[in-house]
Amino acid sequence: MAVITISRQYASGGDEIARRVSELLGYQLFDKRQIARVAREVGLSEQEIIDYSEDQFKVRGFFDRLLGRSQPAVQTRVWKESAKGERVAEETQLSEETALTLVQQAVLKAYEMGNFIIVGRGGQVILKDKPGVLHVRIESPLEYRIQFLKEQIRQARQEYLADLRLRREAQDIILERDAASAEYIRRFYHVEWDSPYLYHVIFNTARLTIEQTARFIARLAAEIDELKTPEGAQVASA
């Protein structure tokens, strides 16, 4: 009953690799359904699903960082009992801390169930001391990722864009998303997102295809019981 966490630079192919690994191993991809399950347990509406992850996190401005402000993360609906004993919905704003706790609880639930692939969401830190977890990092050079994202944008829009304009847009998106992911992990978990010591293995998708990387990960997961625990652990690279 293994679990795989995947941390990835934006446009490095990490999401595509996760999907392919799930196909190879028959594992579930961790998604909003797991978070919704935990939300229901604490009284949140089933219709209001909270997924406070790197993908939703925004880089804070200078004064927010300076003053240590904690902004509301999401507006959601909470079910409460009225004076007449009826269930009524009440709109409320959840703080970053509350939304983050829901995600953490959902990640731990997925670990208990096993056979999950958790992409992002701080899984490499939340489960860092848990046995039976393979922590993977996906990276590639910036130029490779710009080309990768340019093609995705072209296909999604089905329109011609000048190459220079498209390149600038792709680069801005990548730098913004990487900065948000790094700040999310640093702010909430006090570690560096790209630290090699968080991972068992780091893959460079400029050197390996998505299919090759996925098959490497699948083979490693099959041997996960043999991986050393954090005490005296060894970090592999590929």
State pLDDT tens for residues 135-156: 999 999 999 999 999 988 888 8
- Residue 9 pLDDT level (bands cut at 50, 70, 90): very high
- The pair phi, psi for residue 115, each rounded to 5°, is 60, 45
**Average model confidence (pLDDT) for the chain?**
80
State the Cα–Cα distance between residues 139 and 12, nearest whole angstrom: 6
Asked whether 103 and 53 are in contact (CB, 8 A), the reply is yes
Cα 76 from Cα 45, distance rounded (Å) = 8
Contact between 50 and 106 (Cβ < 8 Å): no
Domains of the chain from N-terminus onward: 3-32+96-226 (3.40.50.300)
Q: Strand 3-8 to strand 72-81: parallel, antiparallel, or no bridges (unpaired)?
A: unpaired
75-96 pLDDT, tens per residue?
A: 555 555 666 666 655 555 667 7
pLDDT of residue 237: 39
Residue 114 has pLDDT above 70, yes or no: yes
| Mean pLDDT value across residues 82-111 | 75
pLDDT at 57: 62
Task: Kindly state the average pLDDT of the residues 5-27.
Answer: 96
Classify 75 in phi/psi space as left (phi over 0), alpha (psi -120 to 50) or beta: beta
Whole-structure pTM value: 0.77
CB of 184 closer than 8 Å to CB of 49: no
Q: What is the 3-state secondary structure (H, E, C) of 170-214?
A: HHHHHHHHHHHHHHHHHHHHCCCCCCHHHCCEEEECCCCCHHHHH
Is the predicted pLDDT of residue 236 greater than 50, yes or no? Answer: no
How far, in Å, CA of 35 to CA of 51, rounded? 7
Q: For residue 4, name the pLDDT band (cuts at 50, 70, 90).
A: very high
Better pLDDT: 147 or 70: 147
pLDDT class for 33, splitting at 50, 70, 90? confident
